Amino acid sequence: MIKLRIFVVSDTHGRIEDFVQFAKKLEKPDLIIHLGDYADDGFEIERAMNVDTVVIKGNCDFLVEKRINNEEILTLNGKKVLITHGHRYNVKMDILDLFYRAKEEGADLVLFGHTHNPLIVEEEGILFMNPGSPSLPRGLVGKSFGLVNIEEDIKTKIIEIK
């Protein structure tokens, strides 16, 4: 099985320069996933990085030009991945609602944003990742995004933009 390398970014809020500049220095990903809040930034990132990008809506995406979903289920290297911004699941409180949604879908990996706080946690065999924010970070970690490698298993990492 070929390793699938994915950059996960969320909550860019119109400020993609630091992410793009830093990401271009790294090994090029196979895919980028933008988890909303300025979803149009996802399309700008796709052009700047020349990498296919999956984009979903966040709670700040009222005027998105393209028709995009609030949530998607992707199958990547045989793994089921639920992508959502997270605001509809009260993720600022906890990930319980999101956990039940993931169980319902049989997800192996859940990617969500909204809190601007990076997080990687596993619950009952489901891996959850929030990449934080590359423009408006909150919490102890600075500007960040996520790296996901999918082969036989899934490996996740938070990358701080320096």
Residue 78 has pLDDT above 90, yes or no: yes
* pLDDT single digits (tens) 34-46: 999 999 999 999 9
* pLDDT value for 31: 98
Global pTM? 0.97
Q: What is the mean pLDDT of residues 79-94?
A: 97
CATH code for the domain in which residue 18 is found = 3.60.21.10
> Total domain count for the chain?
1
Rounded Cα gap, residues 58 and 2, in angstroms: 31
Residues 6+ apart with CB under 8 A from 127: 108, 109, 110, 120, 121, 154, 156
65 pLDDT more than 90: no
- Can you give the residue range of the structural domain that contains 37? 4-160
Burial letters for 19-39: b for 16+ Cβ neighbours within 10 Å, e otherwise? bbebbeeeeebbbbbbbbbbb
61-to-5, 17, 55, 127, 154 alpha-carbon distances in Å: 27, 19, 11, 26, 29
